[in-house]
Structure 1
Amino acid sequence: MTISIAHQDATASAGQTMAILTTAIAPVVWGSTYYVATAFLPQGYPLTVAMLRALPAGLLLLAIVRTLPTGIWWGRALILGALNFSFFWAMLFVSAYRLPGGVAATVGAIQPLIVIALARLMLGRAVRPLAVIAGLGGVAGIALLVLTPKAALDWTGIAAGLAGAASMASGTVLSRRWQPPVSPLTFTAWQLTAGGLLLVPVALWLEPALPTPSLANVLGVAWLGLVGAALTCILWFRGLSRIEPSAVSSLALLSPVVATLLGWLLLDQGLSPLQFGGFVLVVASVWLSQRAAQPRQTRR
């Protein structure tokens, strides 16, 4: 009996580790967004690019799964599409345009702490001190990694950054609470399509028409849509169905880490000792978050 229980624990632990690693692929890929947007996409069309990132990917996945929402899931898909994509991306771009990148990333790093609070209110999850410490460490690590002495504050940008973090946090917790009766692939198709459709009128109203796209533009949108949205969101929502929301949210801190490393490797952006310290602190906070989310071992 003891051997059987130990074997089950080992199997569950291995499965949890694999779920964490596959889910972490999503924010790692998202970290390439800044480089791809800078090197491959036309500047000045953030909402249009966000729409092109979400809608074609969502429609492609819908064509594959051939399953539409039913009943209450029409409304839920619309809400989750808005929280996880439309409103989140809109606030993200407002924050990015009004704040230096480092300030925007630091404000967004508060998302895991918001998830902890919402998971307590909406899911009844206990607030674990280790998870809070990890969340605070993540904010500090991102600040060391991306903030500069010349970083300026803009209260509208900060409010937008906080609103975006709260939107994504709410979408993360609700995605766990509203477990869909479909696969992660179908769930992702619903949300991406809804989020993209909601962005269409906003992009048409606020931004001019795109110029004739170049091959680089097409490749950039294809990467952000097919890989940076469709594939990664499938992995993200699949992980969210298996891992605690606070642990999943902490993995998002890997995005600015990857973005900074790509800037260092591909754009000749230097890294200071403080930034290396921030890198270590972020990785440590992600590890602590995963530890905090693990269930206590059954006592024998």
Structure 2
Amino acid sequence: MRPLEAGKLYGSVMLVMLMWGLNVVALKVLVAEINPVYMQAARILLAGLSVALFVFLRREFEWVPRAAIKYILLAAVFGMTGHHTFLAVGLSETTAVKSSLILALLPITTSLLAMIFLGDAFTKLRWLGVFAGFAGAVLINVTGEDGGAVQGAATGDAFIFAAMAAQAISFLFIKKASELVAPRVLTIYTLMVGSVGLFAVSFILAPSGWESYITAPGWVWLVFLLSGIFATGLGQILYNASISKIGPGKTAIFNNFVPFFGLLSSALILGENVSPAQLGGFVFIVAGVLLGTGWVDQLLLKKRKQAPVKHHS
């Protein structure tokens, strides 16, 4: 991959991380006003419709080959229905700090799965990057306003862990499907199928939860639209595109930026305090991304190739 192309690709992934970080604040607002599971279902449906409209207007829609159907269904079940269901239920039973810390395991989990099932190569520097990113996520999430550490385990923690694992598994199926289907088209199918599953789960878990749609104030719907169209719709397009080009393991490393951007947006928008330790965590995250994506490996390899060859007489 050429440096300019790599720069654009990594820049688009960083934009997704920023949108997802801002989406943390949006979800906090939405969950307080709308039933969590129903909110997730409607948000994913809106994202799917937005992406479909975008693709149709650009005349890029295509029917998927039969070989890709199973990968799309599995990606939707794990990455949309499973992930968002477990996340909604877990957030209602555990703290945001513990949830963020558990979700920070996503890059490590995805990288390990990619290595085991997809044959993704790992160097010592990439392993170091994975753990540096995790260390940064720990610093960000365990040092809140009260300075308290993560304690104990609960049912909610198990649901959040299941949400993280489901998303990691879905990335493997997205990688397989993206070899057969264009990322934008793949995004439409996963979002639409996933939203159907989410609505089915919503009716089972909270039959009367749809009433929260009626009582929500108008400004909440503005936040809802921004979250569904940009954070989930556009974000999923860009993220799936990066998975198809650099693989799930390398792409997942960038997810370590989400806690930082979520922290920053919470401080600026919600007025929450940010500790020096949390800022220090960002340094670890940056180091983790540079190492874990293989960028440092590529830089060192390039320098070796450019180094003059010494001839011995």
Report the TM-score, using the length of structure 1 for normalisation: 0.88
Per-residue Cα deviation, 1:138-193 (whole angstroms, up to 9, x for no partner): 22211211214154433323322222222111111222233343322111101111
Per-residue Cα deviation, 1:204-257 (whole angstroms, up to 9, x for no partner): 221222242432121122111110111111110111111132221011111111
Q: Secondary structure at the match of 1:72?
A: helix
Query: Which residue of 2 is the match for residue 199 of structure 1?
Result: 198
Distance 2:227 2:153 in 1: 28
Q: Secondary structure at the match of 2:273?
A: coil
Query: Which residue of 1 is the match for residue 122 of structure 2?
Result: 127
Q: Secondary structure at the match of 1:32?
A: helix
Residue type at the aligned position of 2:47? A
Distance 1:60 1:118 in 2: 31
The answer to whether the Cα contact below 8 Å between 2:111 and 2:252 also exists between their aligned partners in 1 is: no
Picking from 1, 14, 20, the partner of 2:10 is 20
Alignment of 1:1-300 (within 5 A): 12-39=2-29, 42-43=32-33, 45-63=35-53, 64-65=55-56, 66-148=61-143, 149=148, 151-207=150-206, 208-209=209-210, 210-212=212-214, 213-291=216-294, 295=298, 296-297=301-302, 299=305
The Cα of 1:42 is off from its aligned counterpart by 4.2
Distance 1:81 1:240 in 2: 15
Q: Secondary structure at the match of 1:241?
A: helix
* 1:42–1:163 distance in 2 versus 1, CA, 3 Å: closer
Distance 1:219 1:277 in 2: 34
Per-residue Cα deviation, 1:75-108 (whole angstroms, up to 9, x for no partner): 3221111222111112222332332211111111
Identify which range, 232-241 or 277-286, moves more after superposition.
Answer: 277-286
Distance 2:38 2:150 in 1: 28
Residue type at the aligned position of 2:188? A
Per-residue Cα deviation, 1:241-293 (whole angstroms, up to 9, x for no partner): 11132221011111111110011112221112211111221222122222358
Identify which range, 19-28 or 141-150, moves more after superposition.
Answer: 141-150
Cα RMSD for the two superposed structures: 2.2
The Cα of 1:54 is off from its aligned counterpart by 1.0
Give the number of aligned pairs: 290
Q: Secondary structure at the match of 1:252?
A: helix
The answer to whether the Cα contact below 8 Å between 1:16 and 1:243 also exists between their aligned partners in 2 is: no
Q: Secondary structure at the match of 2:245?
A: coil
Distance 2:75 2:30 in 1: 29
Per-residue Cα deviation, 1:39-75 (whole angstroms, up to 9, x for no partner): 4564361111111111122134335435443423333
* 1:67–1:61 distance in 2 versus 1, CA, 3 Å: farther
Distance 1:271 1:21 in 2: 25
* 1:219–1:256 distance in 2 versus 1, CA, 3 Å: same
Distance 1:204 1:27 in 2: 31
The Cα of 1:32 is off from its aligned counterpart by 1.3
Distance 1:220 1:86 in 2: 22
